[in-house]
């Protein structure tokens, strides 16, 4: 039977991808590639028809040769990927090996017969490009939070694929303490260049922690000032977030940033310039100096 594959190293993305795959399937079976037993079990109950659990290697990239080999024999009609740095790397390797087209950061995916139609932002979020792909396998990296995981049902078969062959030897594994879970956060506090010194980010961190949220930043804070890791910047070329509450602090709200937050339920801006674009995008704006507003807010929250 013809297949649609979904591949992600994170469980939440994998379950969203299964839902996307269901949306475009026309009788194909949905094969989920999972990198942990928990993710494999969840996918097996939440919509996948077959699950392949990958074990043995230390890094997801070590499995790409197994995926290529299997793809060359199964010829899946489509392969959907999660939008993480790691998945993007694997997707690029598979696309090159299979001579397949790959559409990045797709937020709207449709099937028309044997062709696939995908939408993604271009020109820094000002326009939407609609792209059609007619040759298999169609490959797309799906924007996070654009589908809901499916309800639980009967579990399907889980196949275990072990790969202990890798040319890379793991010397030491250290947790990256700087990484955050912005994509899944309910509250996102984001710092922009309105923050004067890197130490002042601590004020925003305290607010995020008090609200049980995650801390992100704008691209210049990460890429130009290097005050936060690049994984933490939000926007069209960074992380797309969809929290219940987004609070921008000293963020001007240029289109490339707003493209990454526009699906937030409530947008709050703390910004001194009443003409900054973030004010237009926001549901609530505190217009004034963040160095007065933030301490007052923290003290009223008891943080």
Interacting residues toward ligand FAD by CB under 6 A: 124, 192-194, 218-221, 233-238, 250-252, 254, 256-257, 260, 271-273, 276, 289-291
| Three-state SS annotation for the chain | CCEEEEECCCHHHHHHHHHHHHHHCCCCEEEEEECCHHHHHHHHHCCCCEEEEEECCCCHHHHHHHHHHHHHHHCCCEEEEECCHHHHHHHHHHHHHHCCCEEEEECEEEEECCEEEEEEEEHHHCEEEEEEECCCCEEEEECCCCCCCCCCCCCCEEEEEECCCCCCCCCCCCCCCCCCCHHHCCEEEEECCCCCCHHHHHHHHHHHHHCCCEEEECHHHHHHCCCCCHHHEECCCCECCCCCEEEEECCCCCHHHHCCCCCCCEEEEEECCCCCHHHHHCCEEEECCHHHHHHHHHHHCCC
Cβ proximity to ligand FAD, 35 vs 233, nearer residue: 233
CB of 158 to ligand FAD, least distance (A): 37
CB of 52 to ligand FAD, least distance (A): 33
Cβ proximity to ligand FAD, 179 vs 292, nearer residue: 292
CB of 118 to ligand FAD, least distance (A): 20
Asked if 17 and 79 count as a contact pair (C-beta separation under 8 A), the reply is no
CB of 110 to ligand FAD, least distance (A): 26
> Which position's Cβ is nearest ligand FAD?
235
Cβ proximity to ligand FAD, 122 vs 132, nearer residue: 122
CB of 117 to ligand FAD, least distance (A): 24
CB of 122 to ligand FAD, least distance (A): 10
Cβ proximity to ligand FAD, 46 vs 259, nearer residue: 259
Cβ proximity to ligand FAD, 76 vs 192, nearer residue: 192
d(CA 1, CA 94): 21
CB of 95 to ligand FAD, least distance (A): 22
Cβ proximity to ligand FAD, 5 vs 107, nearer residue: 107
Alpha carbon distances (Å) from 148 to 7, 108, 262, 282: 16, 14, 18, 25
CB of 273 to ligand FAD, least distance (A): 4
Cβ proximity to ligand FAD, 47 vs 248, nearer residue: 248
Cβ proximity to ligand FAD, 56 vs 288, nearer residue: 288
């Amino acid at each position: 039977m013809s297949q649609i594959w979904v591949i992600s190293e994170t469980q939440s993305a994998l379950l969203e991808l299964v839902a996307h795959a269901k949306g475009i399937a026309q009788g194909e079976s949905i094969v989920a590639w999972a990198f942990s037993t928990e993710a494999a079990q969840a996918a097996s109950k939440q919509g996948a028809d077959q699950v392949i659990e990958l074990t043995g290697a230390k890094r997801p990239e070590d499995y790409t040769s197994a995926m290529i080999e299997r793809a060359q024999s199964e010829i899946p009609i489509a392969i959907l990927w999660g939008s993480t740095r790691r998945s993007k790397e694997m997707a690029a390797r598979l696309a090159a090996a299979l001579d397949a087209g790959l559409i990045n950061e797709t937020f709207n995916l449709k099937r028309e017969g044997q062709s696939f139609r995908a939408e993604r932002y271009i020109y820094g979020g000002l326009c939407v490009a609609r792209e059609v792909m007619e040759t298999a396998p169609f490959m797309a990296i799906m924007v996070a939070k654009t589908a809901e995981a499916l309800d639980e049902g009967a579990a399907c078969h889980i196949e275990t694929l072990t790969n202990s062959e890798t040319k890379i030897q793991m010397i030491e594994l250290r947790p990256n303490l700087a990484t955050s879970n912005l994509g899944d956060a309910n509250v996102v506090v984001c710092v922009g260049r309105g923050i004067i010194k890197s130490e002042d980010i601590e004020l925003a961190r305290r607010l995020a922690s008090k609200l049980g949220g995650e801390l992100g930043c704008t691209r210049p804070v990460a890429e130009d000032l290097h005050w936060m890791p690049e994984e933490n910047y939000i926007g069209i070329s960074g992380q797309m977030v969809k929290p219940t509450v987004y609070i921008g602090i000293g963020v001007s709200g240029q289109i490339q940033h707003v493209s990454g937050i526009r699906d937030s339920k409530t947008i709050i801006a703390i910004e001194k310039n009443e003409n900054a674009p973030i004010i237009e995008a926001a549901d609530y704006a505190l217009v004034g100096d963040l160095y007065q507003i933030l301490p007052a807010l923290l003290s009223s929250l008891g943080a």
